[in-house]
Amino acid sequence: MRAAFLALFLAVPVGAKTVRITVVHTNDMHGWLLPRPDKKTGRPVGGAAALAAFINKERANGGPVLVLDGGDWWQGTPEGSLSKGLAMAEVFDAVGYDATVPGNHEYDGGEAQLKAIIAAMRTPVVAANIAVTATGEPVAYVKHTLVKEVAGIKIGFFGLITSQMRRLSFPQNVAGITFQSEVDAARKAVASLKAQGAELVIMLSHVGQEDAKYPGSSDQAVVRAVPGIDLVVGGHNHFSLSPALRVGGTLVVNTGCYLDKAGKAVLEFDDQTRRVFASTSSLHPLWLDEVGEDPKVKAVVERWRVEVGAALDVVVATAAVALTKVRDSDSPMGNWMTDCTRKWTKTDLAFQNAGGIRTEFAVGPVRLRSIFELMPFDNRLTTLYMKGADLKDLFEHSVGRAPGMLQLSGGSVAYDPAAPEGSRVKGVEVRGRALEPDFVYSIAAPDFVVQGGDGFNAFAAGTDRADHDTMIRDVLGWCARTEGTLRLPVAGRIKRL
């Protein structure tokens, strides 16, 4: 490998001047502006002020530094969510980002709120595959492409958001918008950038790395199909890439999520051939005792923490055990959450999509902030009635292609993962009795999945649907206060045969 690395440099013409461009990158911050204790060591890590301090040190080393982000800015913490993203807009500008791309969660407040966030920030927002459905024209609130001259090099930027938005967002939040094919949009964007004189092309992506469930919708698929992309700053599926992916001559990077580390990519540009001839990458944990905090950015973050967080630092319960989460089975946290919603609604069954469970509870005090971070989305409770046969279809999707198994209370499901698709569910019980195909059961679930989110279209067969004003996190807060001490719920609700 060392020989191959050296060969890249030996290929550079004698006397050529090399320009080293450093790219500091983040993605999927989800509102994590504050530092917090590391789960394993308790050592303070992360946050926007630590990121800014890391960037300051890179800039002090000399040479051009770009700061880029791969989307999902705000949904996830009180500072991000209660400000509806406006805190993140201010922080992006204070840190000094050169560009970012919208993530799927940028539409959680609807298109009008995303427009307001973008209007409040100086940081350029790029996306090449968001179009007005009626006309096919690009939406006006993001830049289709961006060219910036850095150290005498014309650098082109474009962004992509996943084309899977229909299953990732409420229909009303993306009404009238089309999310076009990533490959088609990338091909047009790269051609446009080259026509504008771009010598180096960077793609900001909220598409994600390869996933067998959605072939063709990945950073790798785009890069394989579209030549001329030098670097992909990735995001969306929270994959921390170390080492980074290399697809042909293109480097694909991803820091994971929640701003506990910064990514650093270095692009070596030859001024004679006018191309990138080598690239490297690394990830850097943002330990506060190592990188420190930038005072200017810390002041911005602290102001937002005080403004939105004071009422949330109230202890409402104590966790006697750790409530953890997993996606491919039932989990202590998923079981506790669904038990809470079933207590509230008094239904036969209660469900929670695994992807909506955003954190865990350690042993010790549980604050309202903990509840908010667990369920930062403004998901409301929906109740409806479903026949047993339709519930079986729901479970088939859950144990098959869904992004995480549906957590449940009031019953259990047994499945064989090796069975053919459509026949994996081998048994379902509700309240201790076998599921009856023609019996009608009462159900409680988040409005997101009831509306078909994560592909749970079987809910459409339900009747007498009632959309309640009650947010799920408010139910969880009520439940925590009522219980006082949180203990391990009954497990084994999803049984793999």
Q: At residue 94, what are phi and psi to the nearest 5 degrees? A: -65, -40
Label residues 264-293 b or e (16+ Cβ within 10 Å = b): bbebbbbeeeeebbbbebebbebbbeebbb
Domain ranges of the chain: 13-308, 313-496
Above 80 in pLDDT, residue 3? no
13-308 and 313-496 agree in CATH topology: no
How far is C-alpha 453 from the chain's CA centre?
A: 15
Residue 135: CB partners within 8 Å, gap ≥ 6? Answer: none
Query: What are 86-102's pLDDT values in tens digits?
Result: 999 999 999 999 999 99
Query: What are 259-281's pLDDT values in tens digits?
Result: 999 999 999 999 999 999 999 99
Residue 78: CB partners within 8 Å, gap ≥ 6? Answer: 31, 308, 309, 312, 369, 372, 373
Return the minimum-mean-pLDDT range out of 36-40, 71-75, 153-157, 327-331.
36-40
Above 80 in pLDDT, residue 1? no
The answer to whether 412 and 419 have CB atoms below 8 angstroms apart is: no
**pTM value?**
0.75
Q: How far is CA 177 from CA 114, 140, 279, 452, 483, in A?
A: 13, 12, 36, 18, 44
Residue 4: CB partners within 8 Å, gap ≥ 6? Answer: none
The answer to whether 70 and 102 have CB atoms below 8 angstroms apart is: no
Above 90 in pLDDT, residue 58? yes
What local confidence, expressed as pLDDT, does residue 460 receive? 95
Above 60 in pLDDT, residue 361? yes
pLDDT-derived band at 5, boundaries 50, 70, 90: very low
Neighbours of 135 (CB within 10 A): 8
The answer to whether 94 and 152 have CB atoms below 8 angstroms apart is: no
What local confidence, expressed as pLDDT, does residue 445 receive? 97
Q: What percent of the chain has pLDDT over 70?
A: 95
Q: How far is CA 464 from CA 250, 352, 429, in A?
A: 52, 20, 23
Above 80 in pLDDT, residue 85? yes
What local confidence, expressed as pLDDT, does residue 214 receive? 59
What local confidence, expressed as pLDDT, does residue 307 receive? 86
What local confidence, expressed as pLDDT, does residue 313 receive? 83
What local confidence, expressed as pLDDT, does residue 169 receive? 85
The answer to whether 294 and 64 have CB atoms below 8 angstroms apart is: no
DSSP-derived pairing of the beta strands 245-247 and 275-285:
unpaired
Query: What are 203-260's pLDDT values in tens digits?
Result: 999 999 986 555 668 999 999 999 999 999 999 989 899 899 999 999 999 999 999 9
Residue 399, SS3 per DSSP = helix
Above 80 in pLDDT, residue 348? yes
pLDDT-derived band at 16, boundaries 50, 70, 90: low
For residues 131-137, average pLDDT: 96
Q: Assign a CATH topology to domain 13-308.
A: Purple Acid Phosphatase; chain A, domain 2 (3.60.21)
Which residue pairs, CB below 8 angstroms and at least 24 apart, start in 467-472?
Answer: 467/380, 467/382, 468/380, 468/381, 468/382, 468/383, 469/380, 470/344, 470/380, 470/381, 471/375, 471/378, 471/379, 471/380, 471/381, 472/337, 472/341, 472/352, 472/375, 472/379, 472/380, 472/381, 472/446
For residues 308-334, average pLDDT: 91
* Architecture of the structural domain at 313-496: Alpha-Beta Complex (3.90)
Above 60 in pLDDT, residue 15? no
Q: What percent of the chain has pLDDT over 90?
A: 80
pLDDT-derived band at 12, boundaries 50, 70, 90: very low
Residue 128: CB partners within 8 Å, gap ≥ 6? Answer: 138, 144, 145, 158, 159, 160, 185, 186, 188, 189
